[in-house]
Each structure stands twice: as C-alpha cells, then as structure tokens.
Amino acid sequence: MVQPLYQWRLPAPVSVERACVDLARERGISRRLMALLARRGVTSASELASFLAPPDDELHDPALLPDAAVALRRVEEARARGERVLVYGDFDADGLCGLSILVLTLRSIGLDAEPYVPERLGDGHGLSLRAIDRAAAEGRTLIVTADCGTSSEPEIARALELGIDVLVTDHHHAPAIPPSAVAVVNPQRTDSEYPEHRLTGAGVAWKVAHLLLRGASDAGIAGHKLPAAVRAMTDLALIGSVADVAPMLGENRAIARLGLEVLRHDPRPGLAAMVGRANLTRERLDLEDIGFAVAPRLNAAGRVGEAGRAARLLLTDDAEEAEALAGEIDGANRERREMTRTALAEVRRSLCVQVPAEADPDVLEVDVEAEAGADVDSTVSVAATDVTAPVPTPVLVPETLPAAILIRGEWPVGIVGLIAGRLADDLSRPVIVATTLDAAAGSLRASCRSGGALNLAEALVACSDLLIRHGGHEAAAGFDIRAEDWPAFTSRFLEITAARATPPAKPELAVDIVLEADSVDFAFAREMELMEPTGPGNPRPTLAISGFRVVRARTANGGHTQLVLRRTRDVLDAIAFRRPDLAQNLKEGDLVDVVARASVRAFGGLETMQLEVLDVADAGAQIRSLAVRPR
C-alpha cells in the first residue's frame, strides 16, 4: 500500500458554451484539450479564437494606456529641448528588464538616458530621494520609472520642487488619487480603459516603447506591423513577465510567444551570455528555463552585490563585456544559492524539520517583492491560487510545530524572502523570517509568506501599531519593526494565526483533468503543445491517470525514482523527480493511479512519451470520477 504525499484536488465541472465546442470541433481540438482550455478560462468561442490566434493579433493599442498621450507628448518635448533623462527601475528582474527597455528606447530616439538601479538597502523600494538628488546634480529634468513609482508621491513631490518632471510606468496597485507625476502609465489605475490589466512592469515599459517608436501617424495597432525595434525587445518583456509571475494568458501570452522567438533565434549579447552560463540550449528555451535559470540570475545581482551589473548586462552590445558580466552575475547567483541553502538548513534544524538531502532541490526563485514599503504587486495572487502551483518537496514535519513560524536570525536581507517562501511551501503554514536591518537603530526587516493559510495583509494591519512600516498582499508581505517590539509582535501574530489560519492536513496537488491510462497517447501529448508557452495562469497540464500496474520502480541518481508502468496495450516510462520514497514503497504488480505531466522526448532520432510523476496512490484511493466535461 502506497500513501500519497498530497491531497489531490480534482477539477470541478466547467461549463463551455456550445459555440466554443463547435469552434473547437472545426479546429480539430479534442474534448480532452477543450477540457484543459476550459480550466484556463477558455469557455467561449471568442476566447478560444483569441487563444489560438497569432501573437501579433493579441496585442492592444498602447495609446489606450492611461496617460499615454501625455507621456508621448512629454518625451517628444524632452527630445526637442535636448533634455537629459534618468531612467529609474526596481532592482528585481522585472524592474531591470523594464529599465533596459526604456533606456534602449529613449536612446534610440536621440535622448541622453542614464539608467539608475537602486540599492536594496540604500534606496529601498519605489522611487528614492537619492536618485532624485543625483538627477538634480546631473541636470536631468525628466525621470522615467520602470516597475515602480505609483506609490511614491513624497519623492515625486520632491522632484517637482527641484524642477524635475516624473513619468511613471508601473503595474502595481494604484491609489484612487494618482501621484503628482506628469504621467502615470499604469493599467491598474481605477480609470484605466486598457484591455489588459495583468501586465508586469517590463510589460508596461514595452508597451510604452511601442507607443514611442511606432510613429505619430500610427493611430492604432490593427493592420500595422510591429516595429522591428519593438519586436526585438520582447525578450526583455518576456523575462520580466515570467519573473513577476504574470499569468500566461491574453497579451502576456502574446509577449511570451514573441519573446521566445527572439531569445531562441536573435538574443541580445547579454542574454546570450547568460543562457550560455546556465548551460541551456538556446533553440529550445522555454518559460521554465527562464523562471529557473535566467530570472534568478538577474535577481541575484541585487541580492548579492550590485544590481547595476545586471542592467549593464542587458544593455551592452559588446559580446566580450557581456561574457564578463554574465560570469560575475553567475558567481553572485551561486553565492545566493549557497547562502540560501545554508540558512534553510539552519532554520530546519532549529525546527526539527527533516528534508531528505537528495530530495531537496535548488530554491526556485519567484522574486515576489512585497517587503516593507514596497508597492503591492496584484499579479502575485495568481501564483498563490494557480491550478498547478509548484509541488512542494517531501518533508517530515513535527506535529508540535505551531500554526505559524516566526524566525529571527542574522541573514542577508536579500535572501529572507527566499527562506520564508521555501519554508511556507514546505510547511503549508505562514512563515515570517526577520533579520537585522540597522543594528545601531535596533531595527529588523521581515519577509512573510502565507503558505496558503492566512491573509497576510489583513494580519499585518492588525499588528500595524507595532510596525515601523509594512506592505504586501494576502500571499506575500514584509515589514520593518523595532527589535524591542519583536516579542510582542510574535505573540500577537500567533494569536491571529490561531484564530484565522487553516493549514491543510496535507499539501494539495491540483489536477487539470482525469484520464484513464489507455487514453494518454502521443496524439494527446502533441495536442497539449498547442497550450504553449505554459506558465502561471496557463501551467503545464497536470493529469490524474488511473489504471496502471507497476512493472518496475528503482532509485535513479540524484534521488529520483524511475518507473515502468503497464497499461492494457503497452508500458510507459516515467520519472519521479526528488521522490526517492517511491522506489522504496512501490512493488512490482501494485495497481496505482498517478498524477503526472506528459511529454514527448526525442533521442537518437526516435520519439518517446514519458510521464513526469508527481504523486502516486493506490488505485481508486483518490480518483473517483471524470470531473471536467464540456457541455
């Protein structure tokens, strides 16, 4: 008997319009694929047509963005007057990519545009007074932001006092009254009529680039070819979108499709060097590669050392300089990984949480910056509720652990969010990790992750009298606090968690569709490729498959389990990454159901189908019905 590690969350019934079913039939789309698309919210004929359309057709007119006309006019004035511009971007991957897009765009139209990448401690989140002082000292009369600025009213007011206009491009939550910038280009504004509100900071910057580069005579996008210079920057918009966990639907998916083409066939020198350092095959890059290998390296530059290196990497045209910078950033990433591993091990020992060494993967970095004082990123909730969220590592959790974990230590500020995120995934409960921010002032900075069990934004509001400042949303948040108030905060937060949190007995594993083993075939695996590129909001389909008999289960190098599973007509090879327990618990002849992802792999000119198994249960223990039926 095999015990599943997760509670399988089978899909609920979804209604699909008859016209959508008819269109799917016309396009040769099976009921199985239509069921998967319905799980992505594609339930009408227009939504299906949009999902299948060429990416250029899914791009919206940038003139529809709030303050687009004002922004265009102000940039044209700056060019006519020969003004000098400072471009200010956040230090995470999304902000760095947005900054690079805007610098490249402004320079291409003849402006002196200088990038400014803030320091995590010296500048913090949002537009900083240090940057404004530098702009004034250098005679720069226009600041353009990327991925920040919507909540920076005090700083913008200071810039105006010094005779500097601020043009905000951002995607974070917008207050009812926007700041006093000359323009606030943000699709999250309450008065926005832009059709896509889920763009990231780099996505908004890319749309502004399109606005500036397409030409004054181009009143709309329909019927007009995307300018080559704009298309060439979709690689940056794509990386920012993946790094900030944007749902891969609508215009974000169009940007991803265009950006992958650029990355695979004509990448800029810095990205080509970084892809090489990550040992990735450029022609086969996908969103997982970007999320696991490219974005973490860009983020590492700001977590360990100076984030400006990453901006220089993205902006350089010199292949030799790109290789040198990529090497420096790769070293920073290795240092970040080692620091995070060491800190995680230390914390786990203190909590008596056991993780098999061979089952503990590298930290997947989704750089959700919701620390104290940060703008709130409304797209992050997608990751918290995604239909196939990342599968947590198997862990042995003591029954005596409290409903929330609050830890104080001496770790670099740049990695506390990674520690909190990983522990929350492992333990399925809220985690807060604090470290010293300013020893002389006696202040701490803390990062919080909910583990899916508590609304952190509400909890921190209830503790706000103990905090210096706080920010975030229900899934991820952060705050600064005086060290002397940490014990009182700990007590109150635990009381709030005990009253409000509902940690699940078992972590959930969401399923997209339930199938019998014999129906998982090459045709379906190929058909699922129509859903690419996959990512948040449109993840790789997760299949609950019934009716397998175990032929073989053996340990593979690296702590994985290799499986051979028999069905009626043949056998399938399968691999369960970081699941050494399955090799011990499964026996030949066992009847099992699995949750898996199917893929087609080519080797030596031959194609084979393989399952990536996420969990295993005794036959019938968790699968009882086919739950998604188009009707």
Q: How far apart are CA 508 and CA 47, in angstroms?
A: 29
pLDDT at position 600 is: 84
Question: Within 10 Å of residue 357's Cβ, how many Cβ atoms?
Answer: 8
Evaluate the CA torsion angle 11, 14, 20, 23 in order and state its sign.
Answer: positive
Ordered by start, the domain boundaries in the chain are: 7-52+508-618, 58-220, 354-385+393-500
Burial class (CB in 10 A: 0-12, 13-18, 19+), 564: middle
Q: Mean pLDDT of successive 10-residue segments in the chain (631 residues)? A: 86 92 94 92 93 94 96 96 96 94 97 93 82 97 95 94 97 88 96 95 97 65 72 97 90 96 96 94 91 90 82 96 95 89 86 58 41 35 33 59 89 88 85 91 92 86 92 82 96 92 72 92 89 87 95 90 94 91 93 93 79 94 57 33
Phi, psi of 109 (to 5 degrees): -105, 15
pLDDT at position 505 is: 62
pLDDT at position 353 is: 65
Report CA-CA distances (Å) from 489 to 103, 133, 407, 442. Answer: 43, 36, 12, 15
Class of CATH domain 7-52+508-618:
mainly beta
Residues, the chain: 631
DSSP secondary structure letter of residue 396? B
Class of CATH domain 58-220:
alpha beta
Under 8 Å CB-to-CB from 133, ≥6 apart: which residues? Answer: none
Which pair of tokens denotes residue 618? 């005794």
DSSP secondary structure letter of residue 57? G
pLDDT at position 217 is: 38
DSSP secondary structure letter of residue 65? S
Contact call for residues 551 and 566 (beta carbons, < 8 A): yes
Which secondary-structure segment (H or E) carries 129?
helix 129-137
Which pair of tokens denotes residue 544? 């609950």
Contact call for residues 320 and 289 (beta carbons, < 8 A): no
Of 492, 511, 495, 506, whose CA–CA distance to 451 is shortest? 506
Which amino acid, one-letter code, is at 85?
A: V
pLDDT at position 504 is: 58
pTM of the model: 0.84
Of 103, 117, 105, whose CA–CA distance to 299 is shortest? 117
pLDDT at position 238 is: 97
Q: How far apart are CA 522 and CA 159, in angstroms?
A: 60
Contact call for residues 262 and 256 (beta carbons, < 8 A): no
Which pair of tokens denotes residue 568? 């009626």
Question: Within 10 Å of residue 350's Cβ, how many Cβ atoms?
Answer: 11
Annotation: CATH topology of 354-385+393-500: Diaminopimelate Epimerase; Chain A, domain 1 (3.10.310)
Contact call for residues 150 and 179 (beta carbons, < 8 A): yes
